Structure 1
Amino acid sequence: MARSGVQYEDVQKAIHLLLQRGETPGVQKIREVLGTGSFTTLSEHLRQWKVERDENRDEPPSQDLPEPLQALTQELWRQAQEHARHGLAQYRQEADQQVSEAQEQARQAQRRAEDATQRESAMAEYLATLQTRLDERSTTLAQTQARLDACLAELENATSKIARLEEQLVQLSEKSDAEAAEYREALAEQARQHDTRLAQEEHRHETAEARLMTLLDDARRERQELEKQHARRQVQLDKRAEELEKSLQEQRAVLIEEQAGHREVQWELHRHQQEAHELKRKQERLESQLVERDKKQEQLEEALRDAQARLARLPFPPFTY
């Protein structure tokens, strides 16, 4: 029940004044016109006025007019009613169509948002997988780099060893040449001494010749033995040098293979980074599209509210909006 204070007639007058202004009656506007009244009382009087308006919406005007004027008024009333119903049906159809389109667009936007959310989740999982693979590749790359450093260290050691062996080989060759020269000089000296002694003692000692021959044979055998030893040492040094060269080539092949693997890992890492960047750009475009869809939905809702407001301001006989 409405409280005493503002009467229904006052509210009815305020509503008629608002309708003459082309404004939609509401509790707040009625209160602004009257300058007083509680929201509960004004709301009850407004509800009562709407009920009475719905009950009297199809009643013709008062019959207190002359008969010709009444017929004309009734005809005008009928035409106004038909025009109002036609306009209301058209506006309602357009409004319903706009509402349906807005709802369909809202559903499509909701489906796109759900699809985008699912794609975002899938992309997040894919990025997590890529990050895991990237970490694994980084670990593998670190291990490969460690092996590469170890191979480089071994290669440097092998190079140092080869340099030392080559230096030793040169020293041995020089030593062998020096020993051979000394031996040749000693043999020449011995031959000279022997020739001198042979000339001096040719007639005195027959046995000295045999001894000299024995010495010569021993000298030849010793020289041959020295030459054989030198040849064996040379063969051993050559074999060792070949083994070192072969080991160096193998280590170089391993190094080249490790470098190729390192380049492949770097290329794979670069490709994954490009894919992650591309996925991020796609996600930003999707978010931009969602924002644009939301703006369009808000514009449609605003257009729907404007259409409803225009329907409320139409100068037709009272009817329910």
Structure 2
Amino acid sequence: MSKEMATQERVFDVADELATHGLRVTSTLIRERLGGGSFATILKHLRNWEAQRESAVDDIQTMPPQLMSVGETLVAKIWGVAHRLAQQEVGNIKKLQIETESNLTENLRESLNEIQRLEHAEKASQETLSSLQAQLHDAELRVAEVNERARLLQQELTSAREYGDRMQQQLIEATERASHAEGELSAIKARAAGATGDTDPQKTEAKATAPRRVKGKNEDTI
């Protein structure tokens, strides 16, 4: 067959196709796919293809530590905003509670004074007394309602704090898993380098990350 069959473009195309399907990219297999060609020419183009692949792997940069901390910073900011809003809301409720209790206490004092005055008055009206007692009961119910609202808001604040703590713990665990994964990747690269005898970290990384699959009985097993 003519050597022109093994042009760089055709060798690159066949190599990409083999790699995409998880096959070992070898000069023999490329020559079979091309239907012929010089082994020397195919091997030269194959080395250029491998160098190009290694260069592409080198372009993948490890996430900077500053970026890794973005998630933690974001969670902290969200928690800070939620905490301030919750504290502000609780403060408003407490202020409202104090003002309401003060007004109700004053109203209660006035009502009690009026009741005492009516009790000591010969012409006290039983109907007026009953009305004032009803107002007193309503005031007590409103005080109880305000206290219940304050209790519920305190529970919501506690839940928000617990949620923030869980989010922070999940972020810590995710960071630890990422660090562990990086350590495992480094170990795999080191083992690959030892197994192949290749001390070039770029070639080792390309081989460790190249797509693979288990072949049939008549093919080599990776």
Give the TM interval when normalised to the shorter protein.
Answer: 0.5 to 0.7
1:290 match: 171
Post-superposition offset of 1:278: 1.8
| Distance of 2:198 and 2:127 partners within structure 1 | 109
Runs of 4+ aligned residues of structure 1 deviating over 2 Å after TM superposition are 109-115, 144-149, 151-156, 244-247, 307-321
Give the direction of change, closer, same or farther, for the CA distance of 1:309–1:266 in structure 2 (3 Å limit). same
Query: Are 1:247 and 2:122 matched, yes or no?
Result: no
The TM-score normalised by the length of structure 1 is 0.39
Specify the alignment match of 1:268 in structure 2: 149
**Higher relative contact order, structure no. (Cα contacts within 8 Å, ≥ 6 residues apart):** 1
Which of 281, 294, 298 aligns to 2:162? It is: 281
**Residues 144 and 258 of structure 1 are in contact (CA less than 8 Å); yes or no, is this contact kept in structure 2?**
no
Question: Does the CA-based 8 Å contact 1:120-1:283 persist in structure 2?
Answer: yes
Identity %: 12
Asked if the contact 1:116–1:286 (Cα under 8 Å) also holds between the matched residues in 2, the reply is yes
Alignment partner of 1:119 is 2:78: yes
Q: 1:137 to 1:317 in 2, by over 3 A?
A: closer
Q: Which has the higher helix share?
A: 1
C-alpha distance 319-296 of structure 1, shift in aligned 2 (>3 A): closer
Structure 2 unaligned spans of 5+: 1-42, 203-222
- The AA in structure 2 aligned to 1:103 is M
Q: Decide which of 134, 137, 143 is 2:96's aligned counterpart.
A: 137
What secondary structure is seen at the aligned counterpart in 2 of 1:103?
A: coil
1:303 matched to which residue of 2?
184
CA RMSD of aligned residues (A): 3.8
Query: Is the 1:144–1:262 Cα contact (8 Å) retained in structure 2?
Result: no
Change (3 A) 1:279 1:318: closer
- Uncovered stretches (5+) of structure 1, i.e. residues with no partner: 1-78, 166-239
Which among 91, 103, 118 is matched to residue 63 of structure 2? 103
Taking a change above 3 Å as real, the CA distance of residues 129 and 312 of structure 1, as seen in their structure-2 partners, is same
- The structural deviation recorded for 1:311 is 4.4
TM-score, length of structure 2 as denominator length: 0.54
Partner deviation per Cα, 1:151-192 (whole Å, 9 max, x = no partner): 563265146415xx3xxxxxxxxxxxxxxxxxxxxxxxxxxx
Larger Rg: 1 or 2?
1
CA–CA separation in structure 2 for the residues paired with 1:143 and 1:262:
10
| Structure 1 residue 144: Cα displacement | 4.3
